[in-house]
Structure 1
Amino acid sequence: MSVSNPTLITFVIYIAAMVLIGFMAYRSTNNLSDYILGGRSLGSVVTALSAGASDMSGWLLMGLPGAIYMSGLSESWIAIGLIVGAYLNWLFVAGRLRVQTEHNGDALTLPDYFSSRFEDKSGLLRIISAVVILVFFTIYCASGIVAGARLFESTFGMSYETALWAGAAATIAYTFVGGFLAVSWTDTVQATLMIFALILTPIIVLLATGGVDTTFLAIEAKNPDNFNMLKNTTFIGIISLMGWGLGYFGQPHILARFMAADSVKSIAKARRISMTWMILCLGGTVAVGFFGIAYFSAHPEVAGPVTENHERVFIELAKLLFNPWIAGVLLSAILAAVMSTLSCQLLVCSSALTEDFYKTFLRKNASQIELVWVGRAMVLLVALIAIAMAANPENRVLGLVSYAWAGFGAAFGPVVLISVMWKGMTRNGALAGILVGAITVIVWKHFSLLGLYEIIPGFIFASLAIYFVSKLGAPTAGMVERFDAAEKDYNLNK
């Protein structure tokens, strides 16, 4: 690995810029609300792009293009499901959650919101939801660290151990120092870099393969079924892929962006920006994998790395078709995707440990400065545990991402969605929803029932549990009063 390597220099400049943003955010972080939610000060552009970037991890530039390259357009159902799910989340949850968290004790985290919304004096709701967050997100963080390590390993020829620390260090640094504002500001830069890479790359691949007609003929010649969206699919398979969209309602790192918006008025504009960004990114991702079929069919002599690992299709196209400096920028987009998601997950874990355990049960009267430093310590602790989990490259951590997505989607999705839409929901209904959703996902995954993605039965059963258990009791007058006040606030300002 030469120090003059343009890709390496580009990576170093990019990482240095992210850490610098972290130190800029440090100056705006005065209390725990600033560290966890940026003092609820995000404008519509930052809200939109940070929500998008925190969602789209390394799979956007590695996993999905690789799947399209291998199987054609039949793998694009997941992209359709994600777009529909994200839009519905913005439409029904974003604005309402923003006002509901403010009206319910100015809640900073999801467990904090559940506890205040349902007047849970026992602390049980807070503890169970915080534990769900910690378990699933530590696995999620480990998968992000593995993805970053793989990128450094394949790009610079580092050993896996060195790549592990190189990939994680910068993300830990700016999250540790700057908290939520650093994460959100860097997400905005990272989202811009990702969309640049995913619009430019397919256009250049298309030109390199002779234009649209020649490219499509080459893809068809390779395998006519590449154009068939129903190839090797079943009804259950399509529903399972589309079902990924249900996960959006329960992802704490995405919901935190809604809670941090400066006002409900920002949400509608943020929704339009975020959905445009998402559609362009997912379209570009599908195009990279699809046009890559034509390029590597025409150039079999350079197809070796992609044949060996189809998830390298974006990396190899960037290296082959672009000047090394531009390639460095494009490959930084993969790092951006990994870092943006990992940083959000680290911060949500830190928030759960600081707000929902330390402040609630250990130091109720802790000063704001103390809580911010505890938050920073928790970022470090979770990161070190995740690095330890990721240390063995044979660990199938990446395979657990769909499991964690389903876990959050089923355990929290129905609770969040119904809690902002229905004032008749009770504390026991919320508790039943979280438990039934999480248990269904675990059982369904273990037995692989019907070949159906576990988020779908988990979401359905959790929703039914919330409704029927809530009907056995009744919300208190205070819960109804706060719900009505928040709903009125939302309707006046949306």
Structure 2
Amino acid sequence: MAVDVPGLVSVIVFYVCILAIGVWGSRKSKKVEKKCSGSKSEVAIIGGRNINILVGIFTMTATWVGGGYIMGTAESVYSPTQGLVWALGPPAYVLSGLFFAKPMRSKRYVTMLDPFQNRYGKAFTVTLLLPALVSDILWVACILAALGGTMSIILGLSSTISIIISAAVSIVYTLLGGLYSVAYTDIIQLCFIFFSLWLCVPFMVLSPAVTVISQTLPLNQTSEHAWMGHLDLEVAGKWVDEMLLMALGGLSYQALYQRILSAASSVQAQISCFAAALTVFIMGIPSVVIGVMASAADWNQTAYGLPPPFERGDAGKILPLALQHLTPTWVSVLGIGSVAAAVMSSMDSALLSSASMFTQNIYKTTLRKTASETELQWVIRIGVLVVGLAGTGLAFGDDSVFALWVLSGDLLYCVIFPQLLCVLHFQRANTYGAFSGFVVGLLLRGLSGEPILGIPPVLLYPGWREENNVIRQYFPYRTIAMLFSVVSILAVSCLLNLIFEHELIPQSWDFLQVFKDKNETEEDEPCLLTKQTSFKLEECPLPSNFLHLFCFKLRSQ
């Protein structure tokens, strides 16, 4: 297939513009570093908590509207076995604004792992970083795979070259300016995605190859349209599972909290979440329309021919295929620009996400407590590079963008979301409960199997089927793993709280020193009398032993 030179030049110009904006953002970051009272590393991670509300809404929206969201939505709507009913939009922002934005921002955390480090300590924080890191790498792979497939179809360019170039551009500007470069490039990218995708819609609707959608029928059905899809009782569990995965798993991304924590106040963070929820929904409409048009198209009237994409196993590439065969060439080039913009708008967020957590919660607090600000900035840059290279390597191996998109949220939903829920909203949760919940969630998810990774299930839930020698679960097994993780955290925490508070077992059995530290804190707590008065204990005219006795009586009452 010949390379489309004008289209390739257009994409290169777009990349150069994005890189230039990223460089400008890095200069803005350096100016803020000089003015900001906080550390330079915090400016790179959360922009010195100085991101205004409009920029915050744009960058929060762009975080989710990536190649996986755009192409995955079109793939779901087009697929005859799924349809519109399976296009599960992400309501995570509404939930984050209601329940998570205020407690996170009001306590001035820097990363999503800060509340865990404050309550559970360093060991558990390191443990929790691993699934978050794996999820970010899968997310990067998902969106790069989306771009590689699009460019190879429309421009005739090798998907390998497309992935490498796009990854390099995102890595470079994220390295240069941290959150400021990410935020300002997100504005341009999001505007380009919106206008270019909506421009493609009327051309696709008026394409001669697209039949009247009311005439389009699903496989073996006569009562409803193919693009609408259908939800049988047998697969309802899977639908619920994936819906909750998108809604609750989306609450566990560091990239989301990076935007929340960069807001100037808790109220601004909540407003940004609610506004982003609306804009994300609007940004998904063109992908839905493209999926519907592709479902209604007579592919025999196009150069693609028969059999249609679904029967050839090309459902994951339906958006670029529809752009190539159902719109004029110049329109399809704009469409690929929108996918490229979407990819970079989410990739930079994922890159900065893992690098920030490692630097703030592992390197700075455990590995190098005396590290300088310059050293921390270099650690962030190295982290961005490592995650980018890992995700790029993984992007060459899978054709289903939607599958990678779902898989990237699996670990977050089953392992991290229960932890985040309990650490923010259940004060009695402790380290023992957190470790037990982590193990239970990870174990149940692993035993349920994963067809994408070739892991056979050990636990077979009701309704499982064997399809093409692969066992698939239709029971909401991810939700079961999540719920059991929450129950485990709360049950173990409450049980051990009860045991140690009533001294039912020796204090020496507290090997994580959870209750020992609590008891020491209570013993070291200053007397109520000395808290409410301005004089020091040594200056008090009463005998010191009398005051200590008085404090003891107050605590015992």
Amino acid at match of 1:383: G
The structure that has the greater radius of gyration is 2
> Which residue matches 2:420?
416
Kept in 2, the 8 Å contact 1:432–1:469? The answer is yes
Q: Highest relative contact order (Cα 8 Å, sep 6+), 1 or 2?
A: 1
Kept in 2, the 8 Å contact 1:406–1:454? The answer is no
Residue from 296, 299, 302 that aligns with 2:301: 299
> Which residue matches 1:16?
16
> Which residue matches 1:489?
none
How far the C-alpha of 1:115 sits from its partner, in A, is 0.4
Kept in 2, the 8 Å contact 1:6–1:325? The answer is no
TM-score normalised by structure 1 residue count: 0.84
Kept in 1, the 8 Å contact 2:254–2:354? The answer is no
* Cα distance in 2 for residues equivalent to 1:389 and 1:230: 32
Amino acid at match of 2:317: R
How far the C-alpha of 1:172 sits from its partner, in A, is 1.0
> Which residue matches 1:135?
134
How far the C-alpha of 1:371 sits from its partner, in A, is 0.9
> Which residue matches 1:487?
none
Unaligned ranges ≥5, structure 1 = 482-494
* Cα distance in 1 for residues equivalent to 2:410 and 2:375: 35
> Which residue matches 2:384?
379
1:258 and 1:458, CA in 2 relative to 1: closer, same or farther beyond 3 A?
A: farther
Amino acid at match of 2:145: V
> Which residue matches 2:117?
115
- Once the two structures are superposed, residues 304-353 of structure 1 have per-residue CA deviations (whole angstroms, 9 ceiling, x without a partner) of 58454233332233334555444322211111222222211111221233
1:37 aligns with 2:46: yes
TM-score normalised by structure 2 residue count: 0.75
> Which residue matches 1:457?
480
Unaligned ranges ≥5, structure 2 = 34-39, 450-455, 462-472, 498-514, 526-557
Report the secondary structure of 2:113's partner residue.
Answer: helix
1:65 aligns with 2:88: no
**Matched length:** 467
Where do 1:58-457 residues align within 5 Å?
58-71=67-80, 74-80=83-89, 82-83=90-91, 85-100=92-107, 102=108, 107-116=109-118, 118=119, 120=121, 123-208=122-207, 215-220=212-217, 224=222, 225=224, 226=226, 227-230=228-231, 234-244=235-245, 245-296=247-298, 299-303=301-305, 306=309, 308=312, 309-320=314-325, 322-390=327-395, 393=397, 399-445=403-449, 446-447=456-457, 449-450=460-461, 451=473, 452-457=475-480
- Once the two structures are superposed, residues 176-195 of structure 1 have per-residue CA deviations (whole angstroms, 9 ceiling, x without a partner) of 11112212222232233333
Kept in 2, the 8 Å contact 1:74–1:230? The answer is no
1:453 and 1:171, CA in 2 relative to 1: closer, same or farther beyond 3 A?
A: farther
How far the C-alpha of 1:286 sits from its partner, in A, is 1.9
Amino acid at match of 2:236: F
- Once the two structures are superposed, residues 146-171 of structure 1 have per-residue CA deviations (whole angstroms, 9 ceiling, x without a partner) of 33333333333233443332231111
- Once the two structures are superposed, residues 431-468 of structure 1 have per-residue CA deviations (whole angstroms, 9 ceiling, x without a partner) of 33333323322222352633235431122112112221
Amino acid at match of 1:68: V
1:358 and 1:268, CA in 2 relative to 1: closer, same or farther beyond 3 A?
A: closer
1:326 and 1:290, CA in 2 relative to 1: closer, same or farther beyond 3 A?
A: closer
Amino acid at match of 1:243: L
How far the C-alpha of 1:220 sits from its partner, in A, is 4.1
> Which residue matches 1:46?
55
* Cα distance in 1 for residues equivalent to 2:283 and 2:400: 27
1:252 and 1:409, CA in 2 relative to 1: closer, same or farther beyond 3 A?
A: farther
Amino acid at match of 1:337: A
* Cα distance in 1 for residues equivalent to 2:440 and 2:349: 26
- Once the two structures are superposed, residues 175-229 of structure 1 have per-residue CA deviations (whole angstroms, 9 ceiling, x without a partner) of 1111122122222322333333443433443344699xx7333324986441353
- Once the two structures are superposed, residues 73-108 of structure 1 have per-residue CA deviations (whole angstroms, 9 ceiling, x without a partner) of 64533415x33x4422232112222113x1xxxx32
Kept in 2, the 8 Å contact 1:433–1:465? The answer is yes
Structure 1 stretch displaced more, 318-327 or 280-289: 318-327
How far the C-alpha of 1:60 sits from its partner, in A, is 2.5
How far the C-alpha of 1:145 sits from its partner, in A, is 3.2
Identical amino acids, percent of aligned pairs: 22
* Cα distance in 1 for residues equivalent to 2:398 and 2:295: 29
How far the C-alpha of 1:473 sits from its partner, in A, is 4.6
Kept in 2, the 8 Å contact 1:430–1:466? The answer is yes
Richer in helix (by share): 1
* Cα distance in 2 for residues equivalent to 1:317 and 1:160: 18
1:132 and 1:310, CA in 2 relative to 1: closer, same or farther beyond 3 A?
A: closer
Kept in 2, the 8 Å contact 1:25–1:181? The answer is yes
* Cα distance in 2 for residues equivalent to 1:408 and 1:460: 13
* Cα distance in 1 for residues equivalent to 2:321 and 2:404: 26
Report the secondary structure of 1:110's partner residue.
Answer: coil
